[in-house]
């Protein structure tokens, strides 16, 4: 029996959100917009945007090279070259950014853009979003905590402002929260029971809430 793998119907909004996340993570990998401006390589952005679309449409929706080419406005050969790009080679190039900028000053090569966006896509799937998006998530979470009048959540987010994600161990949080009480409990008592790594501020608040709920259940038998 022949099994034919066909593409998955795409949700335009979901595609847009994931492509944007891959695009921003790609910029992060290159050192951020300020680094691109410093090396006068902001011209790389269109290549990264196109490659982000190509990788997401293939990985998430199993689109063919022809379908992707038509959607993104590229030739079939260009799409194929992006999909064949080596992320390991791209990582090596990123480590020598100054040399890469000199080699590809006018426009980023297809293979390089493909390799970087592949790497960015993989990291996002592992929970490592771009710093700029995590920072925005922190701001929104803090505002929501204030609006909903959740003092412990606001206090936690205020003290860990600027911390890098993913948080891989309790000590990273304890350094910032050692003098903080979380709903009457010492921070260490709560933070040592969280599930690490923690990918973003929303996950952190969810984990803390879970531990607090368990404590209340144990105390009141509910």
Residue 140 pLDDT: 83
The answer to pTM > 0.85 is: no
SS3 label, residue 55: helix
Tell whether the torsion through CA atoms of 132, 133, 137 and 143 is positive or negative.
positive
pLDDT band at residue 158 using 50, 70 and 90 as cut-offs: confident
The C-alpha atoms of residue 67 and residue 58 are separated, in whole angstroms, by 10
Residue 64 to residues 58, 124, 134, 207: CA-CA distances in angstroms? 7, 23, 32, 40
Bond preceding residue 61 cis, omega within 30 of 0? no
**pLDDT, mean of residues 148-167:** 85
The C-alpha atoms of residue 199 and residue 37 are separated, in whole angstroms, by 29
The helix or strand, by DSSP H or E, that contains position 182, with its residue range, turns out to be: strand 181-182
φ/ψ of 182, rounded to 5, equals: -105, 105
The C-alpha atoms of residue 153 and residue 208 are separated, in whole angstroms, by 9
> What are the tens digits of pLDDT across the range 116-137?
999 999 999 988 888 888 888 7
| Cα end-to-end span (Å), the chain | 54
**pLDDT, mean of residues 204-222:** 82
pLDDT band at residue 221 using 50, 70 and 90 as cut-offs: low
> What are the tens digits of pLDDT across the range 54-99?
999 999 999 999 999 999 999 999 999 999 999 999 999 899 988 9
Residue 7 pLDDT: 63
Nearest to 109 by CA among 27, 47, 22: 47
DSSP state letter for 165: S
The C-alpha atoms of residue 65 and residue 68 are separated, in whole angstroms, by 5
The helix or strand, by DSSP H or E, that contains position 195, with its residue range, turns out to be: none
């Amino acid at each position: 029996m022949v099994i034919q793998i066909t593409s998955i119907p795409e949700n335009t909004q979901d595609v847009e959100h994931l492509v944007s996340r891959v695009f921003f993570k790609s910029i992060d990998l290159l050192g951020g917009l300020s680094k691109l401006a410093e090396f006068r390589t902001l011209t790389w952005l269109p290549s990264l945007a196109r490659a982000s679309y190509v990788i997401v449409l293939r990985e998430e929706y199993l689109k063919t090279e022809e379908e992707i080419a038509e959607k993104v406005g590229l030739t079939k050969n260009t799409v194929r070259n992006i999909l064949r790009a080596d992320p390991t080679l791209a990582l090596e190039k990123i480590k020598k950014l100054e040399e890469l900028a000199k080699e590809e000053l006018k426009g980023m090569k297809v293979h390089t853009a493909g390799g970087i966006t592949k790497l960015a896509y993989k990291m996002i799937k592992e929970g490592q979003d771009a710093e700029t998006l995590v920072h925005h998530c922190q701001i929104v979470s803090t505002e929501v905590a204030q609006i909903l009048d959740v003092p412990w959540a606001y206090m936690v987010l205020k003290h860990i402002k600027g911390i890098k994600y993913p948080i891989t161990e309790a000590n990273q949080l304890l350094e910032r929260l050692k003098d903080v009480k979380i709903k009457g409990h010492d921070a260490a008592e709560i933070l040592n029971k969280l599930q690490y790594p923690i990918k973003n501020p929303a996950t952190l608040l969810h984990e803390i809430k879970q531990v607090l709920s368990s404590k209340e259940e144990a105390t009141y038998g509910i």
